[in-house]
Amino acid sequence: MNRKTKLKLIALVALSAFVPGINAQDETPVVPVGSLTAFPTIVQTGTHPQLTWDITIPESVIEIIEIEEPGTLIPKRNLVMDVRILGAGVTTYSNNRLNFIPTECKISYNGSSYNRIFYGTNYDVDQNDIVYSQEVAKDSTINFGARYYYNNSWGTWYSSTNSNHNVIALANGDTPPTTTPMNQAPTIEEFIRPYLDDDGNIDIGPRDIIYLFELTHTDQNHSGFDLQDMAVLVTFYDEVVEGDIGGGSSANDDDDDDDDDDDDDHRRGRRRR
């Protein structure tokens, strides 16, 4: 073994020994992680060390979540779920400009009535804000729905249980069901761009699900059918490390409007993946 190979091997061993978390095989990682060891660590010319390595590949979301058409999520084991709003893109055109109008998003867990988790325009969206957290049980059901509010009346309610096209749940690598790739749509919203790859496919984490809503059109061939009226990111974890929010909490619950401490809790999201 030459000096260059020897130094490279020692560097790899050092990396596995001192990089935080690289040996934490008891947790499911979000990227492949592993360790490499060699014995002996000092190798003489003409001899060969014994190499031992261990690699953990992250689970994909379809290994832990079943997506039942048209968009119901069913956990395959007990998990923790965090929900974020990525964008609310319903607009009207007036005064020579596009204006965002209020949109509502709700969640139903295990057949319960729908609970509001967001109401507002795209200006009210904070993509880092966890608007809802829930410990979800194996074989339970998770559904989302949304609608807009305009001229003192509600638009049509679309949910993951009553719409085959207007609400879609997608995992990493999936292709949104639009006639034109979303990243090529002339009206693509900025909040959608970071979640699409160069081919227009979904680009999210291995344990994420993204919900896309079309709330203003039903004809899939219409140019306005772009699935950008509401976007929701759902992330699953195995257990709570700290800040256990417990079963079902929403930053938009009516009872919590005046409780600033509760709002802080909803935004912690420290989870073990």
The total of other beta-carbon atoms located within 10 Å of residue 104's CB is: 22
Backbone dihedral angles phi then psi of residue 261, each to the nearest 5 degrees = -65, -40
The total of other beta-carbon atoms located within 10 Å of residue 71's CB is: 25
Enclosing H/E stretch for 106: strand 103-109
184 HSE (CA, 13 A, CB side): 9
pTM for the model: 0.72
DSSP strands (E only) in the chain: 33-39, 50-56, 65-68, 72-75, 79-88, 91-94, 97-100, 103-109, 115-120, 130-136, 142-150, 153-154, 158-159, 167-170, 208-213, 230-237, 239-240, 249-250, 271-272
Cβ partners under 8 Å of residue 237, min gap 6: 79, 80, 81, 82, 207, 271, 272, 273
Q: What is the mean pLDDT of residues 129-153?
A: 97
117: which 2 tokens?
Answer: 């988790």
pLDDT digits (tens, 9 = 90+) for 173-197: 999 888 777 877 767 889 999 999 9
Closest CA to 33 of 46, 48, 16: 16
- The answer to which of 49-58, 80-89, 183-192, 202-211 has the lowest mean pLDDT is 49-58
What is the pLDDT at residue 5? 42
Q: How far apart are CA 265 and CA 251, in angstroms?
A: 9
Enclosing H/E stretch for 88: strand 79-88
**Could you tell me the pLDDT band of residue 58, with boundaries at 50, 70 and 90?**
low
Work out the mean pLDDT of the chain and round it to a whole number: 79
More confident residue, 58 or 185: 185
Q: Which residues pair with 235 in a beta bridge?
A: 82, 208
257: which 2 tokens?
Answer: 């409007």
